[in-house]
């Protein structure tokens, strides 16, 4: 029976947005992060389909990279959402 490999403790990945960025800018950045994740996912899928054998450790590292890129996109979206509420709360009435 193979020995169980211990996975490293998941480190916290944080997205620190530019304080001057608008919600629109943050959403554009979020889309960029998610497009990177989609690109890596597609590349990984193509490589696995064409491979004679699969290096599980490299696949696992690639999946962790995809998870990190996705998390960055999600955090960026969350900050954009908060920024939209802050910008909306700053307005006291119709212009």
What is the C-alpha to C-alpha distance for residues 86 and 80, in angstroms, rounded to an integer?
10
Show me where the domains of the chain are located.
23-86
> According to the 3-state scheme, what is the secondary structure of 49-82?
HHCCCCCHHHHHHHHHHHHHHHHHHHHHHHHHHH
Confidence (pLDDT) at 19: 80
Question: Over the stretch 3-55, which tens digit does the pLDDT of each residue have?
Answer: 566 655 555 666 677 788 899 999 999 999 999 999 999 999 999 999 999 99
């Amino acid at each position: 029976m193979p020995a169980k490999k211990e996975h490293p403790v998941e480190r916290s990945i944080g997205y620190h947005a530019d304080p001057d960025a608008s919600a629109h800018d943050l959403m554009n950045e979020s889309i960029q992060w998610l497009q990177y994740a989609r690109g890596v996912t597609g590349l990984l899928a193509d490589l696995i389909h064409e491979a004679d054998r699969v290096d599980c450790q490299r696949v696992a590292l690639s999946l962790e990279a995809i998870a990190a890129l996705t998390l960055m996109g999600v955090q960026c979206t969350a900050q954009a959402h908060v920024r939209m509420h802050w910008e909306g709360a700053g307005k006291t009435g119709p212009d």
